[in-house]
Amino acid sequence: MRIAVGSDHGGYALKVLLAGQLEASGHEVLDLGTDSEESVDYPDYGAAVGLAVAEGRAELGLCACGTGIGISIAANKIPGVRAALVHDATTARLAREHNHANVVCFGGRTTGTEVAGDALRAFLAATPLGGRHQHRVDEISALEADLTRKGNP
Ligand code: RB5
């Protein structure tokens, strides 16, 4: 599978580690930066990964910043992207199964390397379940298209 990866300086070390694990397990990595621990702005890298996924240049994306929060917010601004900040294998699996997440995000300063590796493997092993979840994911897509804005749920 082709997987786009990107991080700011706060997620750089974890991104490098996880990208190496992806390659070791046979995946093709499209590394969109950053390339060092020099301070950069996370929205640039969240957008780059999100665009690669939305445009079909990668099947899935992986993002990391210090907490994973900023870069996931940025990636989610790209239509078609469902970026999920995960903290362990359970949140990673459910992000894929229930939310059909196509970008997985990590906090390089908040999640340990062993836990992050387990979470990444769980994310890749999981499959979007569709069914009752598909309708909810479709609602998110409709929100992107501004079709179903409601005052109340
Ligand atoms: C950078 O210092 C830090 O703010 C960034 O990596 C991230 O944690 C933002 O959400």
Cα–Cα–Cα angle for 114, 117, 122, rounded to 5 degrees: 125
Instruction: Please identify which of the residues 9, 27, 65, 105 carries the catalytic annotation.
Output: 65
Show me where the domains of the chain are located: 2-149
Q: How far apart are CA 58 and CA 56, in angstroms?
A: 5
Q: Which atom of ligand 1 is nearest to the CA of 107?
A: 8
Cα–Cα–Cα angle for 35, 50, 32, rounded to 5 degrees: 20
Task: Give pTM, 2 decimals.
Answer: 0.95
**Annotation marks residue 105 as catalytic:** no
65 Cβ below 6 A of ligand 1: yes
Secondary-structure class of domain 2-149 per CATH: alpha beta
| Tens of each residue's pLDDT in the chain, 153 residues | 999 999 999 999 999 999 999 999 999 999 999 999 999 999 999 999 999 999 999 999 999 999 999 999 999 999 999 999 999 999 999 999 999 999 999 999 999 999 999 999 999 999 999 899 999 999 999 998 875 555 655
Which residue owns the Cα nearest ligand 1 atom 8?
66
